Amino acid sequence: MSSYGMALTFNHTTDLLPEEKEDPICISNPIPPVVLPSDFDTCAQEVADAMDKTHPDIGKTTDQIIEYYGYIGDKYNVDTEDGYILLVHRIMGGRVLSPPALGKPTVLLHHGMLEASDHWLFQYRDRNLAFKLVDAGYDVWLINARGTSYSQGHKTLDSENDAEYWNFSWHEMGVYDLPAVLDKIEEVTGNAKVYYVGFSMGTTAYFVGLSERPELNDRIIAAFLFSPVAFIGRANTPLRLLASAAGTAGQYLSDSVLMGKLDSQSGLEKLCPPSLLDPCKFCTPTATRCTVCGYIAFAIFNFDAPQMNYTNLPNIISKGNSISIKTLIHYTQTMGSCRFQQFDYGATKNKAIYGTEIPPSYNLKEITAKTYFFHGDYDNLAVPEDVAYTQSQMKDGTVLENFRVDWELFNHPDFVVAKDADKLVYNQVVSLIQRIPPT
76-80, 299-303, 333-337, 402-406: lowest mean pLDDT where? 299-303
- What is the domain-level CATH number for residue 114? 3.40.50.1820
**Residues pairing with 87 in the sheet:** 77
Would you say residue 2 has pLDDT above 60?
no
Residue 58 confidence class, pLDDT cut points 50, 70, 90: confident
Would you say residue 47 has pLDDT above 60?
no
Residue 27 confidence class, pLDDT cut points 50, 70, 90: low
Decide if 20 is inside a domain: no
CB 354 within 8 A of CB 342: yes
- Between 312 and 434, the more confident residue is 434
Would you say residue 289 has pLDDT above 80?
no
Decide if 15 is inside a domain: no
Helix orientation angle between 43-50 and 290-297, rounded to the nearest 10 degrees:
100
Average pLDDT score over residue span 189-209: 98
Give residue-wise pLDDT tens across range 339-357: 999 999 999 999 999 999 9
Strands (E), 28-138: 71-79, 84-94, 106-110
What is the predicted pLDDT for the residue at 29? 57
Would you say residue 250 has pLDDT above 60?
no
**Structural domains counted in the chain:** 1
158-162, 190-194, 305-309: lowest mean pLDDT where? 305-309
Decide if 105 is inside a domain: yes
Average pLDDT score over residue span 368-372: 98
What is the predicted pLDDT for the residue at 253? 46
Average pLDDT score over residue span 146-168: 95
> Degrees (nearest 5) of the Cα angle 407, 413, 417?
80
Counting every residue written for the chain, the total comes to 439
Decide if 294 is inside a domain: yes
Q: Measure CA 328 to chain center.
A: 11
Average pLDDT score over residue span 394-414: 97
DSSP character string of 348-412: HHHHHHHSSSSPPBP-GGG--S-EEEEE-TT-SSS-HHHHHHHHHTSPTTTEEEEEEPS-TT--S
CB 374 within 8 A of CB 264: no
- 121: closest CA among 68, 194, 196, 176? 68
Decide if 188 is inside a domain: yes
* Alpha-helix runs per DSSP H in 153-303: 170-172, 178-189, 201-212, 240-245, 248-252, 266-269, 279-283, 290-297
CB 410 within 8 A of CB 424: yes
Range of the domain at 89: 49-435
d(CA 338, CA 235): 10
9-18, 289-298, 384-393: lowest mean pLDDT where? 9-18
1-5, 132-136, 422-426: lowest mean pLDDT where? 1-5
d(CA 119, CA 264): 14
Decide if 31 is inside a domain: no
Would you say residue 278 has pLDDT above 80?
no
Would you say residue 294 has pLDDT above 70?
no
Decide if 410 is inside a domain: yes
| Ramachandran bin of 346, using left for φ above 0, alpha for ψ from -120 to 50, beta for the remaining angles | left
Decide if 256 is inside a domain: yes
What is the predicted pLDDT for the residue at 374? 98
CB 334 within 8 A of CB 340: yes
Nearby residues of 108 by Cβ (< 8 Å), 6 or more positions away: 141, 143, 181, 182, 185, 194, 195, 196, 197
Would you say residue 6 has pLDDT above 90?
no
% of the chain exceeding 90 in pLDDT: 63
